A = this chain, B = another copy of it.
Amino acid sequence: MKKTLPTSLPYNQPLTVLSPATIANLSCGFDVLGLALSGVGDTLTVSLTTNPGIEISKIEGADLPRETDKNVAGVALKALLEAIPDYTGGVKLQISKGIAPGSGIGSSAASSAGAVWAVNRLLGELFTPAELTQFAMEGERLASGAAHADNVAPALFGGITLVRSSNPLDVVAIPCPDALYAYVLHPEIELKTSDSRKVLKTRISLQDGIRQWGNVGGLVAGFFLEDYGLISRSLEDVIIEPVRSLLIPGFSEMKEAALKSGALGFGISGSGPSVFALCQGADNCQRAGAAISEAFEGIGLSFNTYQGPVNSQGVQIVSNE
């Protein structure tokens, strides 16, 4: 559908947003369920320029390419601008990475989602959420070779999202229970996405499939019903975790510690190496987090942790001056 630009545009007025880190591959919901984290994300400052083109003027916090075609946010913005051929101006972008690339909590998705969300805001909300998701997915295509929505959707919309289908795109917002907290531990090791993919089996048993979709149904129902017991019982991944967890040092010790200290569930965030626990309430999250980090400390590798309630908002404005 052709988009009509607003008659006046706020050129050279910077807008700064915080775009959250996200957990994709939420346990049984491999490739379909994700959620947004609070307290960790990328900060992006965008402005519309009268000169055409996309200029990434600065990237802080990570060594990433500034060339538009090699940068996930650049590629996402390019897709957005191509959808408005009438727009004769350009975009200037600064990125401050709060999320380490390759950590498994949606680093590329946060930059892509934040960039398109912010520019859309400056353009007077020209695009629908579904369209923004599609643009941001182009960043994911650059990052991983596949246009996945399972990180960009929760980054854009906040809360918990179900990507029922990627093609055609069908994203469903799932209500998030108020007391749902997430804890993430990011071991500072490099886990190549290619290795993380290589261990996946291309065929699975029908029995495991049935167990997995029973759990996906249970998890979605648990979120709607705010039934933490059901959520906990459903946070089980019988297909991906058994093979991928072998690539993450200390996984089983951390999982045991998490569940012993009352976490609802524990699993791999994205394709790792980050791991996550979901918890009922801040206190439990604190307790489970301490137990998980203690279990990991024994290994002697450095790590970062994040914790907080599920981020219900998604990308948010930090400053518009």
Contacts and interface: CB of A to CB of B under 8 A. Distances in A.
- Interface size on A, as a range, is 35 or more
Contact of A202 (B200, B206, B234): B206
A209 B209 contact: yes
Contact of A224 (B30, B33, B212, B224): B224
Given A163-B214, A215-B164, A205 B202 contact: yes
A29 B217 contact: yes
Given A170-B233, A204-B209, A209-B204, A221 B218 contact: no
A201 interface: yes
A165 B239 contact: no
Given A204-B206, A206-B204, A221 B30 contact: no
B164 A29 contact: no
B174 A214 contact: no
Given A29-B217, A30-B210, A224-B224, 15 more contacts: A31-B210, A33-B217, A162-B214, A164-B217, A172-B221, A172-B225, A174-B221, A202-B205, A203-B203, A204-B206, A216-B216, A216-B217, A217-B220, A220-B220, A220-B224
